[in-house]
């Protein structure tokens, strides 16, 4: 069949794709839930039509894969203050997603306009334990600050 004998319209309008809430393990192995929204548009209709079976499904699958990959690379909360974390460094993580996602969908002639995490939380089965851990960490940090202040006050 000659591909030039049939026509199929492909919209080049801007579209949104919001992933479902995905449950993955972060870099420390803690189960977390996250979701993302991606704003995209078809730039090359020929690539969208002939390079992939279904460009809508392709974008959805690659978005989910990129979000999962970002989630397993970084911890939800970093124990080290200098390390990147999903919760503490949202802008940097968004930039990493903005770099990875266009590379994944380039074959479909799609341009990513914006990508952003919309949901980030510990999975329900460990949420209470992690809340206790965060509270304990806050107490330790407050006590450390009090001790440091007292040491500085007693310096001649």
Is residue 86 exposed (0-12), middle (13-18) or buried (19+ Cβ within 10 Å)? Answer: buried
- Examine the pLDDT at 5 and tell me if it is beyond 90: no
Rounded CA-CA distance 130/135 in Å is: 9
- Average the pLDDT over 105-123 and give the result: 94
- The pTM assigned to this predicted structure is 0.76
**What does the pLDDT look like over 119-143, one tens digit per residue?**
999 888 776 666 766 777 777 778 8
| Mean pLDDT, the chain, whole residue set | 88
Query: If pLDDT is split at 50, 70 and 90, which confidence band does 2 have?
Result: low
Rounded CA-CA distance 112/42 in Å is: 9
Tokens matching residue 71: 């989630």
Tokens matching residue 82: 């200098």
């Amino acid at each position: 069949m000659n591909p030039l004998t049939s026509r199929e319209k492909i919209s080049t309008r801007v579209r949104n794709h919001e992933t479902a809430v995905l449950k993955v393990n972060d870099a420390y192995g803690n189960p977390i839930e996250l979701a993302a929204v991606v704003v995209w548009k078809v730039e090359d209709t020929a690539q969208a039509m002939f390079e992939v079976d279904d460009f809508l499904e392709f974008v959805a699958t690659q978005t989910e894969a990129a979000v999962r990959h970002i989630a397993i690379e970084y911890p939800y909360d970093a124990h080290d203050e200098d390390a990147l974390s999903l919760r503490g460094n949202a802008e940097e993580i968004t930039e990493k997603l903005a770099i990875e996602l266009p590379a994944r969908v380039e074959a479909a002639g799609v341009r990513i306009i914006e990508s952003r995490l919309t949901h980030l939380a510990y999975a329900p089965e460990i949420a209470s334990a992690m809340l206790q851990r965060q509270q304990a960490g806050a107490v330790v940090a407050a006590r450390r600050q009090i001790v440091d202040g007292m040491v500085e006050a007693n310096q001649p």
